[in-house]
Amino acid sequence: MDLLLRDYAPVPAIRRPSTHVPRAAVPAIDVHNHLGRWLGGGDWLVPDVPALLDLMDEVGVRTIVNLDGRWDAELDANVARLDAAYPGRFLTFCHLDWSLLHGPDPTGRLIAMLRRARDAGARGVKVWKDLGLTVTDATGARVLPDDPRLVDVFAAAGSLGLPVLIHTADPIAFFAPLDATNERLEELAANPSWWFGAPGFPTFDRLMAALEAVVAAAPGTTFIGAHVGCAAEDLGWVSGMLDRHPNFHVDLGGRLGELGRQPRATRRLIVTHPDRVLFGSDAFPPSRAAYEVYWRFLETEDECFAYAPGSRVPPQGRWDISAVGLPPEVLAHV
């Protein structure tokens, strides 16, 4: 029989329990989500906010952190539409305009932007992976997170009471050769712009070193490493970061595919650092199915289930996941 890989969609033959968890065991805060227009092509990712609130109440999500504030008028629009209209249910984070690195006094101007954002209602700062991968300065040089011009900027965020949720790098496979050994080859073939293994890009390890340097240089700033500290495939490194830097936290957003194939290590990481591992979904627009698979992963001991229900081919890799079964006292922290 001839069968193309893209047409192959095996169904596990293992007979195992299937637990439905419709609501979080404790009120949850989703610290990693996108509700604005930044990723929506100019349209609000959630056009009906009251309907989203109904969903949040049904699945047990008390508050969502919206990472799409951007700056200036866009920040004002996000804060007005979400935070001000529904106090306590939404917290909007701003971004920084890295084009200021092309002009005079970038450090001072970026700090001034932080102050304006804080005064406009921003509750934190989102730093995306473009810092390190595509952002350049006036000379055309690539700017990494540990650039000396940014040290005081990250410190200023802490002095202004703004936590920094930082996404550095991407999955390790996105930096590996595009060959038969790359476990994310199908995903990268469908999204070629996600591959950073070409000459000129920093390596994954160089970007992780930059992240640690940033966290160490601003001990008064609370950092949240997006996507399990940006290194979900290396939980030993993540645990070391949490041990070495009390101002470092991680969120779980968008990495069930990685975490669920190492459930014992994941459980160990969370139980060892219950106050520093934060729930985040990165499932946008938010959906009941996305939240329920997180509750199942965190609260049950189910094995061999889909991390992306409804996907014919799992988007991050052709594997299933197993749950971590956190005890109730740990769930209350996470």
Of the candidates 324, 328, 164, the residue with the CA atom closest to the CA atom of residue 249: 164
Count of Cβ atoms closer than 10 Å to residue 197 Cβ: 16
Across the range 244-266, mean pLDDT stands at 98
Instruction: Give the model's pLDDT for residue 129.
Output: 97
What's the rounded Cα separation, in Å, for the pair 255 and 296? 14
Contact predicate 78/68, CB 8 Å? yes
Q: Which residues are registered as beta bridge partners of 164?
A: 125, 223
Across the range 175-189, mean pLDDT stands at 95
Instruction: Give the model's pLDDT for residue 310.
Output: 82
Instruction: Give the model's pLDDT for residue 73.
Output: 98
What's the rounded Cα separation, in Å, for the pair 252 and 301? 18
pLDDT tens, position by position, 229-248: 999 999 999 999 999 999 99
Across the range 32-37, mean pLDDT stands at 98
Residue 130 is encoded by which pair of tokens?
Answer: 């473009």
Give alpha helix (H) positions in the chain: 49-59, 72-78, 106-120, 130-133, 151-159, 185-190, 204-217, 226-229, 235-244, 256-259, 263-272, 288-299, 328-333
What's the rounded Cα separation, in Å, for the pair 276 and 94? 22
pLDDT tens, position by position, 280-319: 999 999 999 999 999 999 999 999 999 998 888 888 989 9
Helix and strand numbers (H, E) in the chain are: 13, 8
Banded pLDDT at 111 (limits 50, 70, 90): very high
Q: Could you write out the DSSP letters of every residue in 205-247?
A: HHHHHHHHHHHHH-TTS-EEEHHHHTTTT-HHHHHHHHHH-TT
Domain locations in the chain as residue ranges = 27-94
Residue owning tokens 């922290």: 333
